[in-house]
Amino acid sequence: MRSSATVKVTSAATPPHPPPLTTTTTPLTICQPPPPTPPYQRLTKALQCDPRCGHEVTIGRRIGLYRFCGDIGRGNFSKVKLAVHQLTRDKVAIKVVDLDRAGLDAKALRMLSSEIATLECVHHPNILRLFEVVETLGRVYLVTEWIRGGELYNHITQGGPLREIHAAPLLKQLLLAVKHMHSLGYVHRDIKAENVLLLSEDRLKLADFGFSTQLINGANQKLDTFCGSPPYAAPELFSDDHYIGAPVDVWALGILLYFMVVGNMPFRAPTIPGLKAAILKGDYLLPGQLSLPCIRLIQRILIHIPAQRPTIDDMLNSQFVTCPKLSADLMQWEINQHTKPVKRSIFWVRSKSHRLRKSASLRDRYAEVVKKPAISMNTRQQDEMFVQNFLQPIEMGHELLVPVSSQLKEPQSTEQAKRPTRRYMFCGSLKKKVTPMETEPEKQLANGGQSIGSAKINPWNVEVAEDCPLFKNYDAETGSCVMLPTNTEDLSQLGALEFEARQILAELGLTSEMLINARQSGPRSDIIGAYRIVVNRLQKQSWLARKHVEMALHSEPKVEKRIERSCCIL
């Protein structure tokens, strides 16, 4: 019994042989970090969850993807602030309209909606670009491009009138912008120097479309809203019950041209009734030192009867706009005709003093040598020969035919005499608009170097090679892709401008699918706002590249300046 038990114990104690080990290779799992969140998704998440962003929105330092960084200006019902788009890091200008402010009536709301509708439809290289519209319970934010140069009004009042060779290209850009508006059936009705923003010394943009309207019934549709700035108002705004929009814009362009080359207004008065009487009377003075093409263009525009004013195409074909260098050539020719050779004895003269004499302004030397008196003009003068010869070129030796003071004044009917006075709705403060600052004549613009008239390059007379490596003609594109992306995800069907813009936006987290889905929202989508900002940046870079090419083509080799002595012999 014992032996059997022991046998069982020993048999239980000896374990069986283990099965052979099989070697199996298992892949190693490497922990990879999650892909980084794109910038757009990171910003939108921060706006929803980050308490710091919520605090900035509460205290008014942020709205949407924009963060305010300064003030630009202030109006009656709005203020303009400088902001930075947090996604693209571009600076923009935001017009903040307070809807809860007392005095903001239905008329101001109509002006706001009209400005948004006009900016959304008219896109042109010389018209201010609308990026985005942000609406809250008590405010509306209009996000537009930021123009660094400021208003044309401030530049002229501080630095004096422009030289004609620099005023002509600026006027041409205004004419192209207004022509684009009129071709789409819109009229501006508030063209003035305060609404012209300078992008650079030779480029501008038209802004402030609060008084603009769309002509639904054609170009000859009669309007009855009397609006605008009094110094730029056409006579029919004061005398007629109805008016046509296009001639009103043409009259304002003529007043603006006068202000650009003279420095003050042709019609001035301390009060609105006095200004109204001066405009209806039509007497104004043209300085004699202006060139003949400039005088002829101003005379042709400032005509009392709207139907006899030139069209935008006529103004674009005028000699002052097409040949801006001719004005300086005519002035120099008249200086040479009136300058007599002076006989001197033998003396020594330094070349440096000769250069200083030649650096004086051409307009100042023209006024000193020729000494032409001011020309008295009247808007009611009608000379058929003058009107017919408006587009004929002026040659050297041509004398200006000033229309004789005619008695062809329109008789005032009894209905007009009995017509009661009515209120006029004009914008802005009267202190600034009615009596603009009288500026002194041009103060050594050639020696200043910072004024508008000191630029030496005229880009309108420059031809740039199309195959230049820096030349990308993005700035000239005015198609629908400038405001809204094309409804396709195939990048091969896009133009060069939109293709590059989509590549930049894809790196920021905005895919083509997101852009297409945001098309219906228009300017009220932050995705469309980012798209327009990137497109505008590419167009600016294109213009700057073309500008560098022009400067390189016109750069002159520097000559070492030496002070030498020369002998003048009798």
At a CB cut-off of 8 Å and minimum separation 6, what does 221 contact? Answer: 215, 244, 245
Q: Rounded to whole angstroms, how far apart are CA atoms 471 and 460?
A: 16
- What phi and psi, each to the nearest 5 degrees, are found at residue 147? -100, 115
Structure tokens at 403: 């229309």
The closest of 137, 246, 130, 241 to 191, measured between CA atoms, is 246
On the question of pLDDT at 435 being above 50, the answer is no
Query: Would you say residue 182 lies in a domain?
Result: yes
Query: Would you say residue 569 lies in a domain?
Result: no
Query: Would you say residue 32 lies in a domain?
Result: no
Q: What is the CATH number of the domain that holds 175?
A: 1.10.510.10
Contact, 232 vs 150, CB < 8 A?
A: no
- Do both 84 and 156 map to the same domain? no
490 is catalytic: no
- Do both 69 and 210 map to the same domain? no
- Do both 297 and 442 map to the same domain? yes
Q: Rounded to whole angstroms, how far apart are CA atoms 293 and 391?
A: 10
Alpha helices in 188-271 (DSSP H): 235-239, 245-262
For residues 425 and 121, which has the higher predicted lDDT (pLDDT)?
121
Classify 171 as helix, strand or coil: helix
Query: Would you say residue 376 lies in a domain?
Result: yes
Can you say which residues are annotated as belonging to the binding site? 95
- Do both 133 and 156 map to the same domain? no
- Do both 54 and 176 map to the same domain? no
Q: What is the dihedral of CA 459, 464, 466, 467, to 10 degrees?
A: -140
Q: What is the number of alpha carbons within 13 Å of residue 130 lying toward its C-beta?
A: 24
Most confident of the following: 31-35, 256-260, 395-399: 256-260
Helix (H) or strand (E) holding 57: helix 51-58
pLDDT per residue as tens digits for the range 508-557: 999 999 999 999 999 999 999 999 999 999 999 988 888 888 888 776 55
Q: Rounded to whole angstroms, how far apart are CA atoms 129 and 120?
A: 8
Angle between helix axes 164-183 and 245-262 (nearest 10 degrees) is 170
Angle between helix axes 164-183 and 324-338 (nearest 10 degrees) is 150
- Do both 140 and 158 map to the same domain? no
pLDDT of residue 33: 76
pLDDT of residue 383: 55
Q: What is the dihedral of CA 45, 47, 52, 54, to 10 degrees?
A: -140
Q: How far, in Å, are 37, 108, 333 from residue 105 at the CA level?
A: 45, 6, 58
Domain carrying residue 543: 480-553
pLDDT per residue as tens digits for the range 330-367: 666 666 665 655 444 444 444 444 443 444 455 555 55
Q: What is the amino acid identity at position 467?
A: D
By the 10 Å C-beta count (0-12 exposed, 13-18 middle, 19+ buried), 216 is classed as exposed
pLDDT of residue 161: 93
- Do both 252 and 399 map to the same domain? yes
Query: Would you say residue 43 lies in a domain?
Result: yes
With bands split at pLDDT 50, 70 and 90, how would you rate the model's confidence at 212? very high
DSSP of 5-16: HHHHHHHHHSPP
Q: What is the CATH number of the domain that holds 79?
A: 3.30.200.20
- Do both 203 and 272 map to the same domain? yes
DSSP secondary structure letter of residue 480: G
Contact, 74 vs 80, CB < 8 A?
A: yes
The closest of 461, 481, 490 to 534, measured between CA atoms, is 481
Angle between helix axes 526-553 and 496-507 (nearest 10 degrees) is 120
Long-range pairs of 317-320 with CB within 8 A, sequence gap ≥ 24? 317/391, 318/293, 318/390, 318/391, 319/293, 319/391, 319/393, 319/394, 320/164, 320/168, 320/171, 320/291, 320/293, 320/294, 320/296
Percentage with pLDDT > 70 across the chain: 66
Instruction: Work out the mean pLDDT of the chain and round it to a whole number.
Output: 77
Count the domains in the chain.
Answer: 3
Query: Would you say residue 426 lies in a domain?
Result: yes
Query: Quick one: average pLDDT of 451-464?
Result: 36
Query: Would you say residue 20 lies in a domain?
Result: no
- Do both 334 and 206 map to the same domain? yes
pLDDT of residue 414: 45
The closest of 224, 170, 213, 205 to 189, measured between CA atoms, is 213
- Do both 355 and 485 map to the same domain? no
pLDDT of residue 227: 84
Can you say which residues are annotated as belonging to the binding site for ATP? 95
For residues 478 and 2, which has the higher predicted lDDT (pLDDT)?
478
Most confident of the following: 8-17, 186-195, 323-332: 186-195
- Do both 129 and 83 map to the same domain? yes
On the question of pLDDT at 421 being above 70, the answer is no
The closest of 92, 97, 59 to 75, measured between CA atoms, is 97
Query: Would you say residue 254 lies in a domain?
Result: yes
Strand 375-378 relative to strand 347-350, pairing: unpaired
Q: Rounded to whole angstroms, how far apart are CA atoms 49 and 221?
A: 53
pLDDT of residue 528: 95
Out of 190, 249, 475, 526, the active site residue is 190
On the question of pLDDT at 319 being above 50, the answer is yes
With bands split at pLDDT 50, 70 and 90, how would you rate the model's confidence at 416? very low
- Do both 227 and 141 map to the same domain? no
On the question of pLDDT at 164 being above 80, the answer is yes
